[in-house]
Structure 1
Amino acid sequence: MTDTALGATFQPEFQPEFQNWQAPAHDFGDGPPAAEVLTPDEVALVRASAAVVEPMATEMAEYFYAVLFARYPQVRDLFPVEMDVQRDRLLRGLLRIVDLVDDPENLVGLCARLGRDHRKFGAVTAHYPAVGDCLLEALARFAGPAWSDATADAWARAYSTVARVMSQAAEDDALRGPAVWPAEIVHHVHRGHGIAEITVRPHSPYPYRAGQYVSMETPWQPRAWRYYSPCHAPRTDTTLTFHVRAVNGGAVSTGLVHHSRLGDVVHLGPAQGEMVLDPDGTRDIVCVAGGTGLAPIRALVEQAARNGSHRYVDVFLGARTGEELYGMDDMLRMAQRHHWLSVRAAVSHQRIPGREGLLPDVLREFGPWYQHEAFLCGPVPMVRAATQALMDHGMPRHRIRYDPLEGVPALEAPLATAPEEDERF
């Protein structure tokens, strides 16, 4: 899940460096935030060149950042020390743009969300042409003979949509609220299995909806943003509680679970995600959660209760063993309070009477689900398998929501395993 489609951009204090900057060969424009409608030939050129560079995608990302840092060495300190996750984010962003290059409406929606999120980096309009110029240079180098003037023009037109929409969305969002919310850790409890329950109190009210996710920066890993979901609906005291699992090799999650203390201050980016309840919805709901993916599902259930739900909600929790059924007791207590809520477990690697089996198999057993809508969150393989099981039951794809795999920052599937992103919830 990436916090930027094209890599982190630059902070405002470096803007003077661009006052004498020479315009790149391709004019990325400063017009209104309307999508550039590419012709079928241009779409074909973009996708053909992307297919050529895909086998060398990692090397291309390394080259892009090398060029960027060589031309603007002052920006290196704005990026994480470890660049592996950042490079992966660039690649996934490019793939998403290629995927949507002939879908202007969804491309604009994606870029608007990215632009709002980019405010936490301090991105301003003057920065986008520099990034675009370095990007096209990297693409041209690795596309080789597949690169032509026509290909360059097609990529420039596609990028102009990205730059214009992101910039305008950021400017509009700046009129409504801050880019970053400092938040103090006020509660920290270990829940076992490397999971901690962490509550923060933002210094000013933080707007979000149940089911959304939040980007977080910690003091011990500056500029490294990771994503976690509040496990509850919005509270009157403005606090937010996250369930964080310490992941092997995950400096941010390990720091939050094992090293954070009361009084530490983290920073929150704007809430994102489309996995939210429609208050006017009438269909019954099926939810599937794995691991700490339970957090946004629990928040949705709490919001349904607050709304006075007249819809039945079935929640399925997946785990390998009974001990890993994180949050099961809490969900069962919620089910005792609400007649419309049912909670079931699926344990794949341990014999537990009535609960043994892979989650998709248990899901199929309790169907059919063709009249429901679904909310899914957890490891990528589980979400994919559950999606297929629901579709096999006749549920249309548009009624299945899973922010971990689509939207922002999770731009489809990762190209490489980024541990802290797979367990961000």
Structure 2
Amino acid sequence: MEAGLFTANNVWMMVCTALVFFMHLGFSFLEIGLTRQKNTVNILFKNVFIITVGLLLYYIGGFNLMYPGDFNGFIGFAGFGLPAPLNEAGTLDLTYNEGYTYWTDFLFQGMFAATAATIVSGAVAERIKLGAFMVFTLLYVGFVYPIVGSWQWGGGFLSSLAYGEAEGFYDFAGSTLVHSVGGWGALIAIYLLGARIGKFGEDGKPKAIPGHNLPLVAAGVLILWLGWFGFNGGSVLSADPELTSLVLVTTCLAAAAGGVSAFLTSYIRYKNFDLTMFLNGILGGLVGITAGADQMSPNEAVIIGLLAGVIIVFGVALIDKLKLDDPVGAVAVHLICGIWGTLAVGIFGAMAGFDQFLVQLAGVGAAATFCSVFGFLILFVIKKVAGLRVSEKEELEGLDLHEHGMEAYADFHAHEN
């Protein structure tokens, strides 16, 4: 490859890596804004823990578990650490990939790895023991995420799953392999944890527990939208001008359509303009387009986003009806819209067809089974051995004081539930 083109591709991938890293600030703002002030330090601590430990886990073994080379299609391991590919001169082999270096590949993929646990962090906010969450993160990011990723991106059985005219499961940037993996973990976790005190009344009806800072929520979502330029744009794996620009257009149109349809659906259903539904609709549109952002026309991207926004409103209502407590709407956004986006590849775009739809459905089922079973085993063992949930006193007084001995706003006190 021409040196200038290789450099341009590599620089674009590094920019996208930085944008995906920036998404962790967006997740942090979103989660602390939608929860109560007394748990702010706890949520920030978890998010910083995720990115630091997630990168180290991916370095130790996750990268080589996800990209094991030749393997049986289900699980393989290329060894510990990062043994860089060298050429005959003993320097880094720049023919490792057409678009970017080995180091850039590791760092870009490592940023994705930590996202799966971040999705869980918001769902379990305000009542999980910090130690329990840490152990879960170590095992889920260290093993579950890279194994599922290897099935598709590592050349495993999903990538070659054929049926009729369909020639493999397709997930461009991770509607299933990232978002649904995190979403299944979140669903299992909130089921085993139970709802926050006061979330459901004696009549069983859900009660609103308002977040303490909606401006931060809005900032978080806008940062996440910006970060998705790297999340989806970088998944082109080069700076190809035509495909990269198409991906960014479909990504943005789906996000915009998701936000608009969510607030309109929410208004029709609840007769108010709900900002949180509006913002989660944007995220639902982003998650929904992620599996097929390179396969869709602008019109199809808008349709996918519009339907994702509707799914958000009814998905949040469904979670409440099941008496599950998800403070940030992570299950509706990342799991339900992740499933929708994955199936949409078989309905719209260049790969549309009944055969492809069935293959997409099979991929969703495989990820659901593996993540649910292993997520449940991890959390169930933690629950039996050390406990998942903080005490009632700790929950009522806030995790910041009990887990961390500090407050996020030391000179500001507001009345809280």
Which structure is higher in RCO with an 8 Å CA cutoff and minimum separation 6?
2
Instruction: Choose between structure 1 and 2: higher strand proportion.
Output: 1
> Which category describes the TM-score, using the shorter chain as reference length?
under 0.3
TM-score when scaled to structure 1? 0.27
Q: Which has the larger radius of gyration?
A: 1
Instruction: Choose between structure 1 and 2: higher helix proportion.
Output: 2
TM-score when scaled to structure 2? 0.27
